[in-house]
Structure 1
Amino acid sequence: MPKSAIQPVNAPEFNGRISTFAKDSVPDWPAPPSAPQNAPNVLIWMLDDVGFGQIGAFGGLASTPNIDRVAARGLVYNNFHATSLCSPSRAALLTGRNHHAVHIGSHAAAPSGFPGYDDIIPKSAATTARILRDYGYSMMAIGK
């Protein structure tokens, strides 16, 4: 990523002008981050209740030509540890961390209020969407 896309540790240099009177002052707003030229699109696709070998892209018997075409044009990972529930698996995928470490130890509709199960993802565990947004990408999520 270009340096301009990385969030600064210190405030950027002020290039405006501060005068005695507001009407004579000139503000200086830092440019919002933008994705680099020719940046790739990022698609994270998670299918619930589907076995690894069911879709065509992974050698399955189901004919999935559109999924196969998308998979052939990008990176495909095949060593993901899924949990027995959808919510913790999604939390692990979207944060890159253990589902208990991001407080989604069970189904998101049933938080228990105990550590690892309160369904409040800590700020220390940013999602992939949050990181990409900070680098100037536009984000969208679709799901059930």
Structure 2
Amino acid sequence: MSYEVNKTDEQWRTELSPEEYAVLRKAGTERPFTGEYTDVTTEGVYACRACGAELFRSDTKFESHCGWPSFYDPADTDAVELIEDRSMGMVRVEVRCARCGSHLGHVFEGEGYGTPTDQRYCINSISLKLAPKE
């Protein structure tokens, strides 16, 4: 797939820390309850750590107690792309940044959270960078 931000693997390795690279470019997952944004309630915009694209806003972040930051809706439906993920012996929906293709996490539906969309975008903190509201 072609993305607006298109870099070689070597460029990504140079620009990202090994931990960021493992999650963003190799679809890894950070350990639950370890990410810097898991319990953050600061108002602002969450952008892709790899390319800076606006992905989520704090007003859609909610407490899911799952170990990763959870949002019920992206900032814009075109901000993320959703891809069927059949890894790990199950069917899930992977969430990627639509601008650079970086792995963000997964989205789940029908879990019973009282959100307007009945969705939980379960996103790795290391995939995000928070720009606090001024």
User: What TM-score, normalized by structure 1, do the two folds share?
Assistant: 0.26
TM-score by length of structure 2 reads 0.27
Larger radius of gyration: 1
Comparing both structures, which one devotes a greater share of its residues to helix?
Answer: 1
